[in-house]
Structure 1
Amino acid sequence: MEKGNIIDHFKSGIKEPTNSKIGVEHEKFLFYKKNNKRINYSTIKEIFKILYEFGWKPSYEGENVIALNKDNKSITLEPGNQIELAGAQLTNIHEVCSEANNYLFELKQVVEKLDLKIVSAGFDPISKLSEIPNNPKKRYEVMTKDMPKGGSLSLDMMYRTSGTQLNLDYTSENDFTKKFKLANSLVPLSIALFANSSIVEKKDSKYLSYRSKVWQETSRGGLPEIFLENIDFEKYADFVMDYPILFIKKDDKYLSGKNYKFSDFMNGNIQEINKSLPSIDDLGLHLSTIFTENRLKQYIELRSMDTCGWSCICAGPAFFTGLLYGNLDEALEFISKWKKKDLLNAYKNAPMKGLDTNLMGKDMIYWISNLLKIAEKGLEKRDFIGKSGTNETKYLEHLNKIINNKETVASHVINKFSKFQNLEDLYDK
């Protein structure tokens, strides 16, 4: 494999403008109702059995069921048995919302049958790290051992965080460059707006997005300065080649990447695997272990949102779709004066300060309220009409409310929980 192969891999992700899709992934915590403890792997197997009734089919690693698949969607497991829906590639936010609601309907049947509760937050508000059961997924063994070496909160990231991820397409290399720059420039605003992880171990963490604080102190994470520049496929390929390998999969085993970079693998310099060379699957695996706030596979993954409740699950995808698909050039023009240094400072401060975070002399409310108008125009331009006869702008209502009230979900949770100290307030209703 040469650098050109990596660049070609990214090029083959280019889509026609009429074929640009939206994919949403969202993670949830599940707890036992009786004792407020996180569920273990044997309960996951029971959950999966019930979901078979809704047409989901199991996917195995050895003898262990580790995922379910149905209609181009999958349900997968995170290291601490957080359950994740990786949605299908859809055309508009109406479909995204419908998919999420169908999944909620199925999950509700499960939690009622098994006496469980769902927590939609970016960080586990109850459990200590030592209390969380793991699962037998092989790659997580290597990660649990190796990740803490590069970031002090890496295990918290694995076992105690949940996020919402949005996957969007690009229609040319130049379109990728523009979308990737915008997506990365918006990370501090995204952290502030979608903050929903203020409670940690049943106490106020003093952060609005403790999840984001954790991801900033995670091995292989963060917001690289180069992502705030005009990065093309070649520059991203250079970044990928210079990035340490987390693990290599050989004969169904995951081997530690030790201190090797992907370029070492490409040059046949890894003795432990007899100097063998990477395949496209090896490249895909490597791309999936780059834990930056946003990343490139054959589409762009936006990864800086805390998990939110079911009522706002469509809001984040609508906001970014309006900007990146509906009104990209106006959004880029609006942020064109932002400086890298100011963005990186805002990125550091946003997990604690939220909407009060300063960027270029103004708070987040100023910037986000303007971007919401730009996103709204973008969604109007897209003009996808749903069954109720409305376009996609209705999904921004939740975010407009946050900005008008100057209160994020995280602030609301802190105020309510601090007053009553009732664990029930942390669970989905």
Structure 2
Amino acid sequence: MSAPAKANAQPVAGKSDLVAWFESGCKPAERFRIGTEHEKFAFTLRDLRPLPYEGGRDGPGIRDLLERLKAYGWAPVSETGNLIALSCPTGGSVTLEPGGQLELSGAPLETIHETCAETTSHHRNLKTVCGELGIGLIGLGFNPKWAREDIPWMPKGRYEVMRRYMPTRGTLGLDMMLRTCTVQVNLDFASEADMVRKFRVALALQPLATALWANSPFTEGTPNGFLSYRSHIWTDTDPDRSGLLPFVFEDGMGFERYVDYMLDVPMYFVYRDGRYIDAAGQSFRDFMAGRLPALPGETPTLGDWSDHVTTAFPEVRLKTYLEMRGADGGPWSRICALPAFWVGLLYDPTALDEAGQLVKDWTLAEMSDLRDQVPARALGTPFRGGTAGDVALEVLDIARRGLARRARLNSQGRDETCFLDVLFEIADSGRCPAEEHLEAYHGRWNGSVDPIFVEYAY
């Protein structure tokens, strides 16, 4: 989840300013960048428990981990006296999710090779720090062992607002906050028309990413009946701000139409003078008219708008770039695979055309059904006489050709297609990562999830 936007005190004079904010993301293809974010669960090696914020005699805390990471050139970011994030002068940040999940928000980079180097450096630093503290890290879509009440809350004002509001909108919102991890990639667009094409392809194909990365089959130590329980959770989190966005496929889709959507999404908060003011359920339209109950008489800035945009959670989210949000957290190899998957599809014009042709006659009902079934059935989900796995192989071929045409080589002369290898292995087998975990649970793990913290830790 996002930190407060960098201060932008420009007043919002009207709806056109909000449209212009999205338009400001347009850039020529030579300036397209790749921003990769991934979350992981931190736990004590002694008893596999999630870390509290403050450590003590019983063990380390998340704050201890952040303090030691500062030695690698990261600058501290505090809120009400608490260290809650780190920033890097060359780009990127390390932030805390509500339940202490640690997130690397990577810098905007030109190639996936650079993403790989960034991720590797981050994990190398973490391995050193965690080894000193007795901490482990694991990438999964959902915490496999601990109940919601066992997860400590992090001291961030944004989360206090959401903690109160989430249960009024769905039954699984607090689980989303405390017990899930994801990996996502942020990509650019050249124009409004380019944004719309990419948005439509990405929304249609997002269930395939969910299937390929499905990695959350356990809840509180036992199988939960899903392969991506993280994805299922979004179906009962908050209908006002999550799910498929049918209007994206309608005539007239553009920046203004997305502004209208965001104006209809109820607010969470307003950030002022280092604190979060609870505005949960209130209207940004009222804010623009000076009638916001939380701040009567005040009108918003573009910084407020930027913050508000981060409080919608659809499968693909528009900011001044597009966020791909469908994948469970996972191990190192699948972190770098996600940008490879989407860059191959969306940054090569021919691949984008091919992907657009593939999905152009998919109906909204078919896409909704695919999205609804994939959390439980992953690559085995029936689709148009075949399975989601069949479509995934076709899409991976498109992505591989797109990356080959990009021809971005590393120092050994390899292009970016190498990062898709792990996905072809999954798709060829027809078995997602969660199914491997379930096989181990019913076999060599003897009905325990504890071994997952050893076998799949970073």
Q: Hey, what does 1:89 align to over in structure 2?
A: 108
Query: What is aligned with 1:9?
Result: 21
Separation of aligned partners in 1, 2:293 and 2:145: 44
CA distance in 1, matches of 2:191, 2:311: 24
Q: In the alignment, which residue of structure 2 is the partner of 1:338?
A: 362
Cross-structure match for 2:220: 201
What is the distance in 1 between the residues matched to 2:361 and 2:372?
19
Distance 2:27 2:437 in 1: 41
**How far apart are 1:55 and its partner, in Å?**
1.2
Distance in 2, matches of 1:267 and 1:193, equals 45
In structure 2, what is the Cα distance between the partners aligned to 1:274 and 1:238?
23
Whether 1:27 and 2:39 are equivalent positions in the alignment is yes
Confirm or deny: 8 A CA contact 1:29 1:124 kept in the other structure: yes
Number of the residue aligned with 2:209:
190
Q: How far apart in 2 are the matches of 1:18 and 1:32? A: 44
| Residue of structure 2 equivalent to 1:329 | 353
Give 1:263-302 correspondences, 5 Å limit.
263-302=285-324
The residue that corresponds to 1:117 in the other structure is 136
Give the letter for the 1:64 counterpart.
Answer: N
Taking the aligned partners of 1:407 and 1:138, their CA distance within structure 2 comes to: 40
Counterpart residue number, 1:311: 333
Judged with a 3 Å threshold, the aligned counterparts in structure 2 of structure 1 residues 258 and 111 are, in CA distance, closer, same or farther, namely closer
Query: Is the counterpart of residue 360 in structure 1 residue 384 in structure 2?
Result: yes
| SS of residue in 2 equivalent to 1:66 | strand
Do 1:338 and 1:360's aligned partners in 2 also have CA atoms closer than 8 Å?
no
Say whether the 8 Å CA contact 2:176–2:233 is kept in structure 1: yes
How big is each residue's C-alpha offset from its partner over 1:99-141, in whole Å with a ceiling of 9 and x where there is no partner?
Answer: 1111110111111111111121010011100000111111111
**Aligned AA for 1:63?**
G
Percent identity (aligned): 37
Q: Is the 8 A contact 1:198 1:410 kept in 2?
A: yes
C-alpha contact (below 8 Å) 1:184/1:228 kept by paired residues: no
Deviation at 1:163, TM superposition (A): 0.3
Q: Report Cα offsets for 1:394-429 as digits up to 9, x if no partner.
A: 110000000111111111111112212341224415
Q: Does 1:424 align with 2:451?
A: yes
1:165-194 CA-partner distances (Å, limit 9, x unpaired) = 110000111000000111111122111111
TM-score (structure 2 length as normaliser): 0.91
RMSD: 1.2
The separation in 2 between residues aligned to 1:392 and 1:272, in whole angstroms, is: 49
Alpha-carbon distance in 1 for matches of 2:139, 2:116? 16
Q: Secondary structure at the match of 2:297?
A: coil
Amino acid at match of 1:405: S
Please say if residues 24 and 96 of structure 1, whose CA atoms lie closer than 8 Å, have aligned partners that are also in contact.
Answer: yes
Is the contact between residue 203 and residue 315 of structure 2 (CA under 8 Å) also seen in structure 1? yes
Structure-2 residue corresponding to 1:131: 150
Shift of 1:358: 2.2
How far does residue 59 in structure 1 lie from its aligned partner after superposition? 0.7
| Whole-angstrom CA distance in 2 between matches of 1:184 and 1:264 | 30
Aligned to 2:91: 72
TM-score normalised by the chain length of structure 1: 0.97
What corresponds to 1:374 in structure 2?
398
| Structure 1 position 297, deviation (Å) | 0.9
The match for 1:259 is 281
* Deviation (angstroms), 1:267: 1.9
Equivalent of 2:246, from 211, 225, 228?
225
Give the 5 Å matches for 1:154-173: 154-173=173-192
Number of the residue aligned with 2:234: 215
Q: In the TM superposition, what is the alpha-carbon distance from 1:225 to its structure 2 partner?
A: 1.7
Q: Does 1:385 align with 2:409?
A: yes
Q: 1:383 to 1:164 in 2, by over 3 A?
A: same
Deviation at 1:255, TM superposition (A): 2.3
1:269-304 superposed Cα distances (whole Å, 9 cap, x missing partner): 213312311100100110011111111111111111
Give the stretch that moved more between structures: 331-340 or 226-235.
226-235
> Any gaps of 5 or more consecutive residues in structure 1?
none
How many correspondences in the alignment? 429
- Do the aligned residues in 2 keep the contact of 1:181 with 1:229 (CA within 8 Å)? no
Q: What amino acid is aligned across from residue 63 of structure 2 in structure 1?
A: K
| Distance across 2 between alignment mates of 1:228 and 1:144 | 33
Cα distance in 1 for partners of 2:428, 2:294 equals: 57
List runs of 5+ in structure 2 lacking aligned partners: 1-11, 55-60
Which piece of structure 1 moves more, 285-294 or 154-163? 285-294
SS of the residue corresponding to residue 317 of structure 2 reads strand
Q: Is the 8 A contact 2:196 2:248 kept in 1?
A: no
2:94, 2:243 → 1: CA distance? 26
Is 1:55 the equivalent of 2:73?
A: yes
Structure 2 counterpart SS, 1:273: coil
* Aligned counterpart in structure 1 of residue 256 of structure 2, from 230, 234, 255: 234
